[in-house]
Amino acid sequence: MQIDYSKARYLFDGVTLEELNEEMAKAIRSFLTVENIYASAIREITTKLENLNDEFKVTMDRNPIHQIKARVKTPKSIAEKLIRKGYELSIQSAKENLNDIAGVRVICSYIDDIYMIEEFLTSQEDIKLLKRTDYIQNPKPNGYRSLHLVVAVPVSLYKSRENVKVEIQIRTIAMDFWASLEHDLAYKLPEGKKEGIVRELKDCADVIAQVDMRMQKLYKMITNGQALKKE
């Protein structure tokens, strides 16, 4: 396998071309192979979601999915997480112990859409649900809300087939708005005022959750009213 070093250099921050000996080249090959497998798993999930969105556009005249975001962790991030959690620093260890090497975030308009999408995904014959965490019914202490699924998706390779783990986060536009800003602000929290700001962020999360519920009720009122008119 020939390696395009200019393309692969981002895999190892601070490593010069002169340091890329055969041993390092083997490591790059391994990381690139893993990256490709997880990228393929993401494509499997996103294709299913895009098909669902297209179907709803035709049959229901709306798109339940506002946006789909996807990413594969960089080798640096994988290594840092393995070290932080005390796991062996190897590709096999990463496959076994990390659930979020491949990540898909699905952003919906309404809360009900979250659970509809969950049901759609978990009902697929080739998707196996490994873990489910509902931070909507049970928010984190800081106010974070989202539905997290860890699934296994089969990826067909040239001479084999591998089940690959993907973490899927499903949330509303409002939940994503709060999570994005909270993540950004968390790095800027001044020590002296940290407690008060954390409390304020939690209050904002609760207000946004109430707005989400009100928008869900409004949507149901409108759609139920349209259904009655048709009858």
Q: What is the dihedral of CA 73, 74, 77, 80, to 10 degrees?
A: 130
Distance from C-alpha of 176 to C-alpha of 178, rounded to nearest angstrom:
5
Distance from C-alpha of 112 to C-alpha of 120, rounded to nearest angstrom:
12
Residue 175: which of 124, 223, 134, 217 has the closest Cα? Answer: 134
- Given 96, 167, 182, 200, the catalytic residue: 167
Q: Are 151 and 165 in contact (CB under 8 A)?
A: yes
User: Is 80 an active-site residue?
Assistant: no
Distance from C-alpha of 70 to C-alpha of 42, rounded to nearest angstrom:
7
Q: Are 127 and 120 in contact (CB under 8 A)?
A: no
Other C-beta atoms closer than 10 Å to the C-beta of 210 total: 11
Residue 36: which of 25, 28, 47 has the closest Cα? Answer: 28
User: Which residues contact residue 50 at a Cβ distance below 8 angstroms, ignoring those fewer than 6 apart?
Assistant: 68
Largest CA distance in the chain: 75
List the catalytic residues. Answer: 167
